[in-house]
Amino acid sequence: MEKIMQGRMDRGFERYQKEYEDKALEVLRSGWYILGKEVENFETEFAEYVGTKYSVGLASGLDALWLAFKVLGIGKGDEVIVQGNTYIASVMGITINDATPVFVEPDEHYEIDADKIEEKITDKTKAILVVHLYGQAANMTKIVDICKRHDLKLVEDCAQSHGACHNGQMTGSFGDFGCFSFYPSKNMGAYGDAGAITTNDPELARLMKIYRNYGSEKRYHNMVVGANSRLDELQAGLLRVKLTHMEDITNERYELGRRYAEGISNPLVIKPTVAEGSTCVWHQYVLRVPAKDGEGQSKARDEFRQYLEDNGIMTLIHYPIPPHRSQAYEYLGLPEGSLPITEKYANEVVSLPIYTGMTVEEQQRVIDCINAWKG
C-alpha cells in the first residue's frame, strides 16, 4: 500500500507543470535576475489579490516579520503581544529586533484569544502580532478595535493563511503590515525561499523597499543599515503563475477540510472548528488527542500517530515545543506551566495529511483508518 505523506509538493507542481516550466525558461533567458519586471508585476498582482495598495517582495517570511517590526521602529524596551502557540519564526521576528514577546493563550480555534489581549497590555506594548495559525483568520474585528483604542501597531503573520478571510476581508489587509511566507510547503508555495509584505501605507512600502536592498533607494546611497532580502525574479515569476491558480488551490483546501470534518467521527479525537465570521484555508488540518489529567504529553496522541504510521499514513506535530519552552527562549524565564493552554495543545495536537492534489481515495483511507482507531 502506498504511503500517504503528511504534505507533498510534487502534485501541486505537476498540475501546472507546463506553465511553471515556461515561466522559468522565460526568466532564465531574460538575462535579468534580481528586482526586475517579474518582481514588480508580482507585487502589483499580489497586492490586488490581498486587497491592499502595496506589496513588497522579500526573501522569506521571517524577513518579512523582522523587517516589518524594524520599519515600524519597534526594538529594545518595546513589547509585542503574540500568541503562545505559534511557529517560532513569529517570535524570532520580534526578538531579532531586541523587542520582547509577551505571550497570550490561544482560543478553542487555536487562534490568539482576543479576550485575553488587553490584560497583557502595558505602557511598553507597541504592537500586536496576529498569527492566522493553520490557515484560519483570527478575530480581526476585536483585534483591530483593541489596536485602535490602545494606539498599537498591528502586524499579521499570514505565512499559513493565504486567502483566508475575516468578515469577507482577506488576512494581510487589516494591519500596518501583512507578512507572508512562500516557503514551498505553504498554501501559496514558491520553489525556493520567498516572502512578501502587504500594506496600505505608501511610506511603509517605500521604507520596506529601502530596507530589503541594503538600505538604499538610490544605488550606493545607503540611508539606513538594511538587509539583503530581495525576492528573486525566478521565484516571483513562478509565484505569478501560482497566483493565477490560487482560487482553485484554496477551493481544493476548503473541500479537503470539509471532507475531513464530515468524515471523521471517532469520539477519541477532537476536530478543529472555525470561528463565526472567519474562514480557514486549511494550511493544516489539526486534530487533538487528549492527554489524561497530569500526563503532560498525550500518550494516546503518540499511539494514534504510531497506529496511523503502521497503516502507511504519515502525520506531523505543529508544534511539539512552544516557543516559550524552546532553548532559544530560555532567557525569557517562562517555566513549564506558564502558558497552560498553549502547552496542552502542544502535547495533544496532530496534523493530518493535507496537500494540493490529495485524492478522494487517499483522504478516505485516512478517514476510515481514524474512525477504526480503538484507542
Ligand X SMILES: *Cc1c(COP(=O)(O)O)cnc(C)c1O
| Residues annotated as part of the active site | 186
160 lines the binding site for ligand X (CB under 6 A): yes
Does residue 250 belong to the site contacting ligand X (CB under 6 A)? no
Is residue 269 at the binding interface for ligand X, with CB under 6 A as the rule? no
**Residue from the set 181, 198, 199, 351 that interacts with ligand X by CB under 6 A:** 181
Closest contact distance (angstroms) between CB of 320 and ligand X is 15
Give the relative orientation of helices 37-50 and 233-243 as an angle to the nearest 10 degrees.
40
If binding is defined by CB under 6 A, does position 86 make contact with ligand X?
A: yes
112 touches ligand X by CB under 6 A: no
Q: Which amino acid is at 96?
A: I
CA–CA separation, 96 and 102 (whole Å): 15
- Please report how the helices 233-243 and 17-30 are oriented relative to each other, as an axis angle in degrees rounded to 10: 150
Residue 103 in contact with ligand X, rule: CB under 6 A = no
Q: Closer to ligand X at the Cβ: 60 or 139?
A: 60
Contact 35, 60 (CB under 8 A): no
Contact call for residue 87 and ligand X (CB under 6 A): yes
Contact assessment for residue 122 and residue 358, using Cβ atoms and an 8 Å cutoff? no
60 touches ligand X (CB under 6 A) = yes
Binding footprint of ligand X, residue count (CB under 6 A): 15
Kind and range of the H or E element at 249?
helix 246-263
Q: Nearest residue to ligand X, using CB?
A: 61
- For 185, the 3-state DSSP assignment is coil
Residue 290's contacts (CB-CB under 8 Å, 6 or more residues apart) are 270, 298, 300, 348
- What would the grid cell of residue 343 be? 502547552
Binding mask 20-59 for ligand X (x = CB under 6 A): ----------------------------------------
The single-letter code of the amino acid at 302 is D
236 binds ligand X (CB under 6 A): no
Binding site for ligand X (CB under 6 A): 60-62, 86-87, 89-90, 131, 157, 159-160, 181, 183, 193, 195
